[in-house]
Copies of this chain bind each other. A is one copy, B any other.
Amino acid sequence: MILFYNPHTTGDTLELDAQESRHMVRVLRMRAGDRVQLVDGVGGWYEAVIEDAHPGHCRLKLLSRTTGPDPLPYSLHIAISPTKSADRFEWFLEKATEIGITEITPLLCHRTERTRFNADRMERVIISAMKQSLKACKPDLHEPATLTDFISVDRPGTRGIAHCVFTNRGISGRPDNSATTDDSATTDDPATTDDSAGRIHITELARHGSYTMLVGPEGDFTAEEVHAAMDAGYTSFHLGESRLRTETAGVYICAAISLLSASNPHG
Distance in Å: Cβ of A258 to nearest Cβ of chain B? 6
Q: Are A242 and B66 in contact (CB under 8 A)?
A: no
Bound CA span A155–B252, Å: 27
Beyond the given pairs A1-B175, A132-B243, A133-B243, 8 more chain A to chain B contacts, judged by CB atoms under 8 angstroms and listed by A's residue number, are A37-B173, A64-B173, A66-B173, A99-B252, A135-B242, A203-B262, A242-B258, A252-B255
Distance in Å: Cβ of A256 to nearest Cβ of chain B? 6
Please give the residue numbers on chain A whose beta carbons come within 8 Å of chain B beta carbons, in ascending order: 1-2, 37, 45-47, 63-64, 66-70, 91, 95, 98-100, 132-135, 166, 171-176, 178-179, 181, 183, 201-203, 240-245, 248, 251-252, 255-256, 258-260, 262-263
Q: Which residue of B lies closest to A171 (CB)?
A: B66
Q: Count copies of this chain in the complex.
A: 2
Distance in Å: Cβ of A135 to nearest Cβ of chain B? 8
Q: Are A181 and B132 in contact (CB under 8 A)?
A: yes
Q: Are A251 and B1 in contact (CB under 8 A)?
A: no
A133-B171 CB under 8 A given contacts A2-B183, A203-B262, A255-B255: no
Q: Are A99 and B132 in contact (CB under 8 A)?
A: no
Bound CA span A98–B174, Å: 20
Q: Which residue of B lies closest to A182 (CB)?
A: B1
Bound CA span A14–B3, Å: 56
| Residues in B neighbouring A132, C-beta threshold 8 A | 181, 243, 245
A69-B171 CB under 8 A given contacts A98-B244, A255-B252, A255-B256: yes
Q: Are B171 and A45 in contact (CB under 8 A)?
A: yes
A240-B256 CB under 8 A given contacts A173-B66, A183-B1, A251-B251: no
Bound CA span A79–B91, Å: 23
A259-B256 CB under 8 A given contacts A47-B173, A66-B171: yes
A171-B68 CB under 8 A given contacts A178-B1, A244-B133: yes
Bound CA span A240–B263, Å: 11
| Residues in B neighbouring A68, C-beta threshold 8 A | 171
| Residues in B neighbouring A260, C-beta threshold 8 A | 259
Q: Are B183 and A243 in contact (CB under 8 A)?
A: no
